[in-house]
Chain A
Amino acid sequence: MKRAGYRPSLELVPEVLAGSRAAIARMISRAEGGYAEAAEALAAIYKSAGKAHIIGITGVPGAGKSTLVAALIKSLSLEGHKVGVVAVDPSSPFSGGAILGDRIRMNEVAQASQAFVRSMATRGHLGGLAPATLQAVDILDAAGYSPIIIESVGVGQDEVEIVKAAHTVVVLSPPGLGDDIQAIKAGILEIADIHVVSKADKPEAAATVAALKGMLKLGGSAARSTWSPPVLTVSALSGQHLDSLKATIRQHWSHLKSTGELAVRQRDFCRTRIFNMARHLFQEQFHEGAEDFERQLEAVVSRESDPLTAANVLLGWNEERHS
């Protein structure tokens, strides 16, 4: 029984660029694992990325994201696109493990088409998408996949963060939210480029569409863009209005390019990624139990030092602050 050894990440890079599925998959694992050895390879891949249209699909659990993504994969693949999907699910805060179930809806269509579907757990990354998730997008991008769909659960902060990683943000709502719509949707009105109410065949879908339109009119969406977020309804199972959604996504992409907004967003993405990565590196380095961190921690706890001084020390900026 042949068992593979460790292949250096740099060796995988040309294979990734050539579109090898095994290499893509392995590279994503290297990114997830934070292998120091992989940094150079990931840098090279980043430089080759930047061509793909990245679509973020988010929404509360039960909205039907996976079903919609599966339908999009099938439809876009038939049009000749090489679709990449990164489906993000939360890790258990207790065990650090996760059950990643999105693939249940995507298996058949993934295997039958050229699409690449990767399930990723948040791995305790607080607030926003983990750097590895975005590196996975880079890898698929460099390998020639476009569009690349990031599917993530929209609960609180994470939902909002997807706007900093995707060109087109689609927010999916289940039909029939009714009165809850006020409470839950405050954040998402600002981030959605396209609102979709799922399960169009249900009678409540129309009412939810109307409610969302009403809220948008009240000025929910901040002037982030000259694009007016439409509210659509789709039935992923029957395919009803799916073409309309695809067309709207394409229109948004064109809009971003023709207005120069795309460059603005890319710049924002980079800014966010640098900050995210810095925070991630800081957390990795100065985790609970790390010697230098613990030393500073003790000092702050006993009031020999203070949080600002401690952070400066850890960052290597040992400037004293005087009151």
Chain B
Amino acid sequence: MSLFSQEELANIRRSQAEWEAKELAAALKARPEEQAAYQAECGIPLQRVYTAADVGHIPAEELGFPGAYPFTRGAYPTMYRGRPWTIRQVAGFGNPEATNRRYKYMIEAGQTGLSTDFDLPTLLGLDSDDPMAFGEVGRVGVAIDTIEDIDRLFDGIDLEKISVSLTINPSAWVIYAMFVAVAEQRGCDLKKLAGTLQADPLKEYVAQKEWIYPVERAVRLLRDLIMHSTRLTPKMNPISLSGYHLSDVGGNAVQEIAFTMAFTIAYCEAVMAAGMDIDEFAPRLSFFFISHQDFFEQICKFRAARRVYAKIMSQRFKAKKPESMRLRVHVQTAAMSLTKVEHHNNLMRTAIQALGAVLGGCQSMHTNGLDEAFAIPTEEAMKLAIRTQQIIRDEINVTSVIDPLGGSYFVEKLTWDMEQEIWKVLGEVDELGGAVKLVVDGWFQRKLADSAYEIFKKIDTGEKVSVGVNRYVDEQSTRAKVEIHPYDDECTQLQVSRLQAVRAKRDSQRVRTLLEELKQQARTDDVNLLPKTIELAKARATLGEICGALREVWGPYEEPIAV
């Protein structure tokens, strides 16, 4: 950032040296600092103070302007002045009707986009009457077996007007097919459908662990989904490249971004190998990151991520359109940072993390309820979470200026440092054979498990503070009760009976024929499986039947040894 001449920078360094010798030395003599060294959570060392001299080497082009390459300062030129971030809180449980009711409540409360969680059987491609689904139907999310469930889920909701985020992975392409089929049924203009599918397989194998098929097959399914969605539903984001889960299983900020980018590269390569031009699909790639505890580290992380992505798209993939280089991100605050002890503290934690995401320039956000991760979010908790975002947006005047921390010596230096660390990791991945190979080998998994253990040890020894848990411990403090989604027998019965009704009413012979055709297509690599899947959805094939058919052809996934 050559705002200062070399001579000025030299002056600054000299002044700093004088200050260190004089005022600083005296202060240290009177009282040493509490730690020998300071660092960001991800390990990057932190200086006592930053000056222009620390960022003198950063070219001005690295910073740029909001909404223009390299997007360090923001994805859009007007950011929140033009449009605030979307308040998008996740909801989903029980039968589709129950979720539908919660949707309508949240929309009333001010939510501007919908987000859906699915139950474990749906996530893993199993029908509600599958033996493995026992005890799990509708428990941690909404149960979806057929196109009719998707219809109920969005009953009375105008799909052309509200954007819908679907937190679904290995079975994403089927849910998408059902979603599109419903929209068609309703006479919606598919070009107006807006929303996001999570659909990011590589992070599943290393973090969230929802899987059905071997790694390469899952990547193929994603490729098909991206290619088909780009043409059929151009306003939808067929994937939410997720760093959140990488952090959730122990990844630090650098790993979160670097690994996500490594996976992104693998996906782009797969789509381009099938003949699609980067500029055709890249504009609809969206991201999902966490906002964690280290306030400034996280803000710098978002800025570094935008810059890295812009460079990957333009330099590695030769994208031409600015939309292909723009990183758009949905953020969720860090559930792992929340405590059961004195759980009201979680409100403050979440508010700070949310502020970090805003100063980092997110496009949409889910703030955790104060009892998230150990209880079923009550309406009260969800309302407080929404209010947290509304207060940040409307009361504290942080949205008037774009990238307000830009230009801070510290923020620019840390952004730069994080960017360099991210490139190092990406270089290593390239050298070792690419993301897909390393996922199969268990490389990412081992790194994340190492990281998780390091964090555990730090909390165990007290090196990393958790207020109320390992410091300022008060025996009298409230402990939130652990609550889990109860097994709802009624919900299961309803789902199962509906399944049976659908199977009875439909043309099952036709379904069987279509399934065979799907399997045939799956035996080769070059047929897009989406059209057949949409046909199957319309014919009332079930999620379990469609996913099961491909498992017959491709076999299951076996996890590598990486403890």
Contact = CB atoms under 8 A, between A and B. Distances in A.
Do the two chains touch directly in the complex (Cβ atoms below 8 Å apart)? Answer: yes
A105 B558 contact: yes
Interface in B515-563: 555, 558-563
A145 B471 CA distance: 56
A2 to B, nearest CB: 28
8 pairs of A and B residues whose beta carbons are closest in the complex? A101-B561, A99-B563, A101-B563, A104-B561, A105-B558, A66-B561, A104-B559, A62-B441
B558 A67 contact: yes
Contacts, number: 18
B322 interface: no
A99 B446 CA distance: 13
Contacts of B561: 66, 101-102, 104-105
B135 interface: no
Contact of A237 (B214, B562, B563): B214
Nearest to B441: A62
Interface in A59-110: 62, 66-67, 70, 99, 101-102, 104-105
Contacts of B562: 101
Contacts of B563: 99, 101, 104
A70 B555 CA distance: 15
Nearest to B437: A202
Nearest to A70: B558
Contacts of B214: 237
Interface residues of B, number: 9
Interface string B35-68: 0000000000000000000000000000000000
A70 B214 CA distance: 16
Contacts of A237: 214, 555, 558
Contacts of A66: 561
Interface in A12-71: 62, 66-67, 70
A57 to B, nearest CB: 15
18 contacts: A62-B441, A66-B561, A67-B558, A70-B558, A99-B563, A101-B561, A101-B562, A101-B563, A102-B561, A104-B559, A104-B560, A104-B561, A104-B563, A105-B558, A105-B561, A237-B214, A237-B555, A237-B558
> What is the predominant secondary structure among interface residues of chain B facing chain A?
loop
A104 B214 CA distance: 16
Interface string B374-399: 00000000000000000000000000
A251 to B, nearest CB: 29
Interface of A: 62, 66-67, 70, 99, 101-102, 104-105, 237
A102 B555 CA distance: 21
A111 B140 CA distance: 29
Nearest to B556: A108
Contacts of B559: 104
Nearest to A199: B440
Given A62-B441, A104-B559, A104-B560, 7 more contacts: A67-B558, A70-B558, A99-B563, A101-B562, A102-B561, A104-B561, A105-B558
Contacts of A104: 559-561, 563
A107 to B, nearest CB: 10
A220 to B, nearest CB: 27
Nearest to B443: A62
A101 B561 CA distance: 6
A245 B562 CA distance: 27
A101 B560 CA distance: 9
B97 to A, nearest CB: 37
A71 to B, nearest CB: 10
A170 to B, nearest CB: 19
Nearest to B442: A62
Nearest to B433: A176
A224 B547 CA distance: 52
A99 B563 CA distance: 8
Contacts of A99: 563
B358 to A, nearest CB: 42
Contacts of B555: 237
Nearest to B558: A105
Nearest to B214: A237
A59 to B, nearest CB: 14
A98 to B, nearest CB: 11
Contacts of A101: 561-563
A104 B445 CA distance: 14
A93 B555 CA distance: 39
Nearest to A236: B558
B460 to A, nearest CB: 15
A105 B562 CA distance: 11
Contacts of B558: 67, 70, 105, 237
B397 to A, nearest CB: 52
Contacts of B441: 62
A182 to B, nearest CB: 21
A163 B236 CA distance: 60
A67 B561 CA distance: 10
A198 B559 CA distance: 17
Nearest to A202: B437
Nearest to A176: B433
A219 to B, nearest CB: 33
A101 B449 CA distance: 14
A104 B446 CA distance: 14
Nearest to A66: B561
A104 B559 CA distance: 7
Contacts of A70: 558
A6 to B, nearest CB: 32
Nearest to A62: B441
A254 B555 CA distance: 35
Nearest to A100: B563
A237 B558 CA distance: 9
A50 B559 CA distance: 35
Contacts of A62: 441
A105 B563 CA distance: 12
Interface in B403-462: 441
A66 B563 CA distance: 14
A246 B562 CA distance: 28
A160 to B, nearest CB: 23
B231 to A, nearest CB: 32
B559 to A, nearest CB: 6
Nearest to A65: B561
B194 to A, nearest CB: 40
Nearest to A201: B216
B206 to A, nearest CB: 15
A105 to B, nearest CB: 6
Interface string B194-221: 0000000000000000000010000000
Nearest to B555: A237
A66 B441 CA distance: 13
A73 to B, nearest CB: 13
Nearest to A102: B561
A191 to B, nearest CB: 24
B243 to A, nearest CB: 26
Contacts of A105: 558, 561
